[in-house]
Structure 1
């Protein structure tokens, strides 16, 4: 038995890894099956509507917090959604 008979086994590892990587890449990326959103999708633009109204003025940087700050009241900010299971 010659020493070169095991060489194919050593080359099988990197070749198999490369093949597996390429197969997974093609499977998950689907580059040949994806569509080009910019070319294939039409978006009808509408004119911007609305108005600007000044509701207050803050001058300087002396206030360290915003009025109505609820950072520490996380139970008020985050509310559970009740799911009806019946």
Structure 2
């Protein structure tokens, strides 16, 4: 009986794992089929328009929380809109 008969089985594990990883990578990344935004999209830049208006100022506050925050009401915060 030859010891080489089980050697292919030892090589099949890493080879199969590598093939599976590569197949999943190609399936989910599909870089050859993806849209290359930087090369395929023309964007015309325009000057920025608008104004800045100062609406208020807060100085020297000692409050640790913002009035009306909803950090304690998780269900209300992430609830579905009806």
TM, length-normalised to structure 1 = 0.69
Deviation at 1:54, TM superposition (A): 2.6
Q: Which residue of 2 aligns with 1:18?
A: 18
Q: Which residue of 2 aligns with 1:64?
A: 62
| Structure number with larger C-alpha Rg | 1
Q: Which residue of 2 aligns with 1:32?
A: 32
Instruction: Please give the per-residue CA displacement for 1:10-62, whole angstroms capped at 9, x wherever unaligned.
Output: 11111110111111111111011112111111223332222122333444x2x
Name the CA distance, whole Å, in 2 between partners of 1:4 and 1:30: 38
Q: Any stretches of 5+ residues in structure 1 without a counterpart?
A: none
- CA 1:52–1:17 in 2, change beyond 3 Å: closer, same or farther? same
**What is the total number of aligned residue pairs between the two structures?**
78
